[in-house]
Structure 1
Amino acid sequence: MPDHVTLYRAPTTTADADEIAEWLDPRIDATVDVEPRLLGSLADDDLAEAFAASRVLSPYERETGNTMVGIVRYEERTLEAPERGGGVIYDGFDVQDALRRRLQSPMEELHIPLLDRRLGTWGTHDARWHKRVAVLGKPSLVSVPGLYEAPAKPEAYYKTKQSHAMMAGDAPPREVLENQVDGEFLVEDDPRTTEALKGYVLAAYHYLETGDAFCDVEGCRLYDAHRQPALLAAQLSEPAFCERHAARYG
């Protein structure tokens, strides 16, 4: 049961950790602090190699990791200057383990870094990697790019992408698709980012407090949405919680 939560900033993103902490603090029975970027403070000689070893190599291959010198150097540069990174997916549980070993926090402390990295977990049911918004546990990782990319976009987005590929022979740039497709979904640097992340940060606390990962009621802030419209309904619509979780966090 955590009695102290530390939320870490992701300065290369639009996520406002201070606003999230203000929202979280009165809802939980724990103190909430905000600290600078976690990966910057933990960047020891081996962390870059740990990230290189956790790289997802293919959507359909379980094996991860490329620790060639050039890749490790890339990870070193990205730890120092995160705005230079992007596009790589990392095994969320491997990253979690690497950070856990460095934090070595007592049971009553919960660390929640907001990350500018893309995280994935292996799906044993379909033998492929899936991007994730959150990897819960100690520490609990919340991926800001995952908020835009993990939940599926409206069907019209994929139909437009397929149609363009058939006509032009390749997929259009993401920015073009986002401008062409009607439908509600989050995009990179979306002004709704901070609001949409609040439920995932609360879920990190909720998981350690109760043992339940997410709520199964659509529309609740603790619902783990697999599609963008459901994510927006859960995080941006009223009521904020289902009846059960409103009694605890409302």
Structure 2
Amino acid sequence: MESVTLYRAPTAVADTDAIADWLDARIEATVSVRDRFLSLHGDSELAESFAEARVLSPYDRETGNTMLGIVRYEERALESPERAGGVIYDGLAVQQALHERIPESERSLDHLHVPLLDRVVGTWGDHDGRWHKRVNVLGQPAIVSVPGLYEAPAKPEQYYKEQQKHALLGGGAPPREVLENEVEGEFLVEDDPRTTEAIKGYVLQAYHYLDTGEVFCDEDTCRLHNPHRQPGVVAAQLRAPEFCPEHAERYCP
């Protein structure tokens, strides 16, 4: 692979430039950063593409609601991303929509595009007949969902109990500090200051897949591991060592 382009997610706390610097020190390809993909390559039909990719029910494979009001919502979300939220999108459908909008001269697999998105994406599980939120969707482009980092891997059960308790008391979502004090276990929450560090590994997973054809690492202490629970994310992305012995040979600077 010759080059990797990362795209900023301006409403997220992820520092795309810091992620790019970290990646650049570990791979041979040229790494660059551009502004928000949805702003640079958006067009008049992109809002409808997002409307078509909306997940309607956790247990319904069919997606999409292109009623005028929904399309108008997606138009506003594209113009003002801070207004978006509370929706899950079919990650593969979003990936296809963004692929079609990559400049034709840059669609080669020698040039990986990695948009950091402020949207939640998921993939359908044929094994259990339901949608699953994802942190990343590998391929070209490779989508990395910043809110997916907080929402996709499961948190400790006590977290959800505390969240429900605060909601019943009319307080909405409890602050991160409250959750960290009241819930045992390690996990990331919205706008977590560790977001940039954790996202680095998910971006590297995108590069590794397109460059080698390998998906994820089975070693739970490696940045290329893809855990399904939050403590696993902390272990893989925020604890030493960064890589298993095999991938350390390839990616340790």
**Does TM-score exceed 0.5, indicating one fold?**
yes
1:106 Cα deviation (Å)?
1.8
1:169 Cα deviation (Å)?
6.8
Runs of 5+ unmatched residues, structure 2: none
Please report the TM-score for the alignment, with normalisation by the length of structure 2.
Answer: 0.92
Residue in 2 that maps onto 1:91? 90
User: Partners in 2 of 1:171 and 1:147 — Cα distance?
Assistant: 26
Matched, 1:239 2:241: yes
Structure 1 residue runs of 4 or more that deviate by more than 4 Å after TM superposition: 159-162, 168-172
User: Partners in 1 of 2:193 and 2:160 — Cα distance?
Assistant: 23
User: Partners in 2 of 1:171 and 1:183 — Cα distance?
Assistant: 25
Identical amino acids, percent of aligned pairs: 64
User: Partners in 1 of 2:84 and 2:168 — Cα distance?
Assistant: 28
1:161 Cα deviation (Å)?
5.4
Residue in 2 that maps onto 1:173? 172
User: Partners in 2 of 1:246 and 1:93 — Cα distance?
Assistant: 30
Matched, 1:27 2:26: yes
Residue in 2 that maps onto 1:213? 215
Residue in 1 that maps onto 2:115? 113
What root-mean-square deviation, in Å, do the aligned CA atoms of Structure 1 and Structure 2 show?
1.8
Aligned to 2:65, what secondary structure does the other structure show?
coil
Residue in 1 that maps onto 2:69? 70
Please report the TM-score for the alignment, with normalisation by the length of structure 1.
Answer: 0.93
Is 2:114–2:203's contact at 8 Å kept on the other side of the alignment?
yes
User: Partners in 1 of 2:42 and 2:53 — Cα distance?
Assistant: 16
Q: How many residues align?
A: 246
Runs of 5+ unmatched residues, structure 1: none
Matches within 5 A, 1:1-250: 2-103=1-102, 104=104, 105-160=107-162, 164=165, 173-175=172-174, 178=179, 180-250=182-252
User: Partners in 1 of 2:172 and 2:154 — Cα distance?
Assistant: 17
Could you report, residue by residue, the CA deviation over 1:107-152 in whole angstroms, capped at 9, with x for unpaired residues?
A: 2110000000000000111000000000000000000000000000
